[in-house]
Structure 1
Amino acid sequence: MSPPLTKICGLSTPDSVGAATKLGADYVGFVHFPKSPRHISLEQAAALAAHRGRAESVVLLVNPDMALVDQALATVQPAILQLHGDETPLFLGEIARRHDVKLWKALPVRTRADLAAANAYRGLVERIIFDAKPPPGAQIPGGNGVRFDWELLRDAKLGFAWGLSGGLDPANVAEALRITRAPLLDISSGIEDAPGQKNVDKMASFLNAVRTS
């Protein structure tokens, strides 16, 4: 079984991007969503992507219109566009027709029935990211440090590429892998000192825990 892939999301400084790459992360993620404490401009994301080394860059948008999608892809030129809102399969299909970019779609999960929503995106996206549903009153759809019941994914035979997000940290990632066997782990708040402030030591601990689990 191949080791799981890792994505460090919500990066906002050259040092944090460089550290993620040096420590072996497979993907580095940049959030363009003004309500998020991890929000950066597209121009900043483009500059940071230059420090990504061997890692692939991911731009995360939430409920964008097509004009913003066009702008983000032209400015940052990421390998992957991750949609983290209520984007429909129809909208993702239109992106795929307009752009040669890999698409990831994040889906909120609380119950087993929520997993079934992924079927609507089959053939449209490269990967589904299962994230916890945000708590009531949350201003952002992800990065809230909340996990869902990982048992929902135990022995899941999904038939498509996917990843696990939501509430991961260096202390619990081994448990997450033991239960879910997730092929990709996507972390943001679990390696921060404060929202948007990445801690390199926590990042190193997380990536080491993934490798040794």
Structure 2
Amino acid sequence: MSIAPPFLVKICGLSTPETLRAALDGGADMIGLVFHPKSPRFITLERAVELAAIARGKAEIVALTVDWTEKQTTELVEALNPDWLQLHGRETPEQTAALRRASGRRVMKALGVAEAGDLAAIAAYRDVADRILLDAKPPKDAAFPGGHGRPFDWTVLADLDPGLPFMLGGGLDPANVAEAIRVNRPAGVDVSSGVESAVGVKDPARIVEFIAAARKAAAAVQEGLTA
């Protein structure tokens, strides 16, 4: 399994101009805006449009939705003009393909992972999503999807198809992202709670620290592969 350049860093759940600028100044490739009302990182469309205006041309804008209809999705795309849709719910492969067609946007499908058997779902999405995000499965009683700040057992990815350029999320933070990259060699990493000072409150310093650690680790892995 190898890292295919360019390595991507995504900061998700941004909600203020200050933290967005920290992500941009730190060199984030993608910024995520959350539209799931139950998430502590939920923002209104009005705020999202303001943030997108700051980010446009500097990083790719990702709109995160959970089990939305085609109508909801196309209306969001018309208002926000994101570069990507991140589908973080129970969207089937058929629904994923339909949303991709209707929106005219690239689609990232998040799949929850807790054990090796969860990886079987990847096959059905590879041809209908532009990118796969492997995230930690939420607790059974969770009110919203995502890793909830907890990494999954990365050893389950040992038998993953080395040709799959996936992004890795779930419990990543400035302290463990280098190890995650070294062990898993993803094409990119996605962080949200790992760069927060409190639930839903991003920390600009942690954002910059995370991006720097991820870039350094990815460069070291790539250098080792080409040496």
| TM-score bracket, shorter-length normalisation | over 0.9
Report the structure, 1 or 2, having the larger helix content.
2
1:154 shift after superposition: 3.2
**Is the CA contact (8 Å cut-off) linking 1:3 and 1:211 kept in structure 2?**
no
Residue 48 in structure 1 maps to residue 51 in structure 2: yes
Q: Which residue of 2 aligns with 1:167?
A: 171
The percentage of aligned residue pairs carrying the same residue is: 46
- Output the TM-score relative to the length of structure 2: 0.90
Counterpart residue type for residue 153 of structure 2: D
**Is the CA contact (8 Å cut-off) linking 2:135 and 2:147 kept in structure 1?**
no
Q: Distance in 2 between matches of 1:187 and 1:21?
A: 14
Q: Which residue of 2 aligns with 1:13?
A: 16
SS where residue 54 of structure 2 aligns?
Answer: coil
Which residue of 66, 69, 76 corresponds with 2:70?
66
Which residue of 122, 126, 130 corresponds with 1:126?
130
1:43 shift after superposition: 2.1
Which residue of 22, 25, 43 corresponds with 1:22?
25
**Is the CA contact (8 Å cut-off) linking 2:114 and 2:153 kept in structure 1?**
yes
**Is the CA contact (8 Å cut-off) linking 1:127 and 1:160 kept in structure 2?**
no
1:169 shift after superposition: 0.3
Q: Distance in 2 between matches of 1:42 and 1:159?
A: 36
1:19 shift after superposition: 1.2
SS where residue 157 of structure 1 aligns?
Answer: coil
Which residue of 86, 90, 95 corresponds with 1:86?
90
SS where residue 185 of structure 1 aligns?
Answer: strand
Counterpart residue type for residue 148 of structure 1: F
Q: Distance in 2 between matches of 1:117 and 1:161?
A: 15
SS where residue 175 of structure 1 aligns?
Answer: helix
In structure 1, runs of 5+ residues without a counterpart are: none
Which residue of 179, 182, 200 corresponds with 1:178?
182
SS where residue 74 of structure 1 aligns?
Answer: helix
SS where residue 94 of structure 1 aligns?
Answer: helix
SS where residue 43 of structure 1 aligns?
Answer: helix
Q: Deviations over 1:9-42 (max 9, x none)?
A: 0000111111101110000000001100000112
Q: Which residue of 2 aligns with 1:35?
A: 38
Q: Distance in 2 between matches of 1:108 and 1:130?
A: 6
In structure 2, runs of 5+ residues without a counterpart are: 218-227
1:155 shift after superposition: 6.0
Q: Which residue of 2 aligns with 1:188?
A: 192
**Is the CA contact (8 Å cut-off) linking 1:143 and 1:188 kept in structure 2?**
no
Counterpart residue type for residue 98 of structure 1: A
